[in-house]
């Protein structure tokens, strides 16, 4: 059976590697082209080695059309003459013309428990939604976005502190096992699928950089979900406001909710969301007030600096009365309308 693999990035890598070691190794890899002046779109965002390294090790063809749905892209697929297309985080939606070429159709490895979180960023959206579990679904591809019949599925719990990058790494290994098993079953004969329940569909559109702007007017649990969901990209961020300087952008890499014991003596304090403070007797800690309580910062990255713990950060950026976090001021003539945090003076 002639298998062609379409994938880009870290989620797609383990499945390609597993298939290349299986009984029906792909004859070719189709991945996104590199763009001048930017990181390779065909490379892994997390490990930096790139999905192409697996294909290079096995000596299979590597193709990087600008568009798989263009005349040249369709011609490439016809020339490869696949019996089956295996798609994982490829980054382009395949047209009906492309999907009709493989004799046995096309399957997609999707990082959610479909029909929940259809779209480009299912892992981050699962964390943002506060889901306690997610998984991988293998579907028979159709013209609808992630709407095909489910051929295989495996769930896994989401760790309480797990980031998008960490969860993606685990789900990629699950996808690899499911890919090999599903390809083997398809090679052996017809495989029946389960129709998705359209009433349970939720959407997971591509994450935007501005979604990392932390709204400290929200509860602690929501702020923590945003921080986790935005790692490793685009990262959660805010701006530190001081009385004697311009707002300074800072990334929030890790944080945790305050415990009952750490809140001793702090419960009665009423602070405006976004207020920064150091609890009594804890000079190496930095907390920020949220809607329903404080959040303890653990690791941050000031603009132009490396990631650092809070003790190191405070040594170079000591806290002063009135310091706070909030969104950057709008350009002249614009307002802050739409941001969940209303910035108020402390």
| 179 and 232 fall within a common domain | no
Q: Rounded to whole angstroms, how far apart are CA atoms 110 and 133?
A: 15
Residue 255 in any domain: the answer is: yes
Beta bridge partners of 145: none
Half-sphere exposure of 67 (CA within 13 A, CB side): 6
| 196 and 215 fall within a common domain | no
For residue 329, what pLDDT band results from cuts at 50, 70 and 90?
Answer: confident
**Domain of residue 77, residue span:** 3-200
Question: Average pLDDT, whole number, for the chain?
Answer: 90
| 182 and 295 fall within a common domain | no
**Is the pLDDT score of 247 beyond 90?**
yes
For residue 46, what pLDDT band results from cuts at 50, 70 and 90?
Answer: very low
For 234-283, strand residue ranges (E) read 236-242, 245-257, 276-277
Assign residue 15 the CATH number of its domain.
3.40.50.170
Using the Cα atoms of residue 15, residue 17, residue 18 and residue 21 in order, give the sign of their dihedral: positive
CB-based burial of residue 37 (10 Å sphere; 0-12 exposed, 13-18 middle, 19+ buried)?
exposed
Find the mean pLDDT for residues 50-69: 94
Listed range (33-37, 61-65, 322-326) with the worst mean pLDDT: 33-37
Percentage of the chain modeled with pLDDT above 70: 88
**Is the pLDDT score of 39 beyond 60?**
no
Assign residue 304 the CATH number of its domain.
3.10.25.10
| 61 and 117 fall within a common domain | yes
Task: Tally the domains of the chain.
Answer: 2
Q: What is the DSSP string of 11-78?
A: TTHHHHHHHHTSSS--SEEE-PPP-TTS--TTS-TTTSS-THHHHHHHT-EEE--S-TTSHHHHHHHH
Q: What is the pLDDT of residue 44?
A: 40
CB-based burial of residue 164 (10 Å sphere; 0-12 exposed, 13-18 middle, 19+ buried)?
buried
| 116 and 223 fall within a common domain | no
Tell me the H-state helices in the chain.
13-20, 52-58, 71-80, 96-99, 122-128, 164-188, 220-229, 310-316
Find the mean pLDDT for residues 8-23: 95
- Tokens read off for 140: 């028979």
């Amino acid at each position: 059976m002639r298998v062609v693999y379409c994938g880009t990035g870290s989620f797609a890598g383990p499945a390609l590697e597993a298939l290349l070691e299986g009984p029906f190794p792909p004859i070719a890899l189709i991945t996104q082209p590199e763009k001048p002046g930017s990181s390779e779109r065909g490379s892994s965002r997390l490990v930096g080695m790139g999905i192409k390294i697996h294909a290079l090790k096995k000596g299979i063809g590597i193709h990087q059309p600008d568009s798989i749905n263009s005349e040249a892209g369709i011609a490439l697929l016809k020339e490869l003459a696949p019996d089956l297309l295996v798609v994982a985080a490829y980054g382009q939606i395949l047209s009906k013309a492309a999907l009709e070429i493989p004799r046995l159709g096309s399957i997609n490895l999707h990082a959610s428990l479909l029909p929940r979180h259809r779209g480009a960023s299912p892992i981050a959206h699962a964390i943002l939604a506060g889901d306690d579990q997610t998984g991988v679904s293998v579907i028979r591809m159709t013209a609808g976005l992630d709407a095909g019949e489910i051929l295989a599925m495996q769930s896994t719990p989401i760790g309480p502190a797990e980031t998008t990058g960490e969860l993606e790494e685990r789900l990629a290994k699950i996808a690899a096992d499911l890919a090999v098993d599903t390809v083997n079953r398809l090679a052996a004969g017809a495989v029946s699928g389960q129709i998705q329940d359209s009433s349970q569909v939720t959407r997971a559109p591509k994450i935007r950089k501005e979604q990392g702007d932390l709204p400290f007017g929200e509860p602690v649990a929501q702020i923590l979900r945003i921080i986790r969901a935005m790692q490793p990209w685009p990262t959660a961020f805010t701006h530190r406001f001081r009385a004697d300087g311009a707002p300074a952008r800072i990334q929030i890499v890790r944080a945790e909710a305050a415990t009952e014991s750490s809140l001793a003596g702090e419960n009665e304090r009423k602070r405006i969301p976004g207020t920064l403070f150091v609890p009594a007797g804890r000079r190496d800690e930095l907390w920020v007030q949220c809607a329903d309580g404080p959040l303890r910062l653990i690791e941050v990255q000031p603009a132009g600096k490396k990631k650092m713990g809070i003790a190191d950060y405070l040594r170079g950026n000591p806290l002063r009365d009135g310091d706070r976090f909030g969104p950057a001021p709008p350009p002249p003539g614009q307002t802050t309308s739409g941001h969940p945090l209303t910035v108020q003076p402390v």
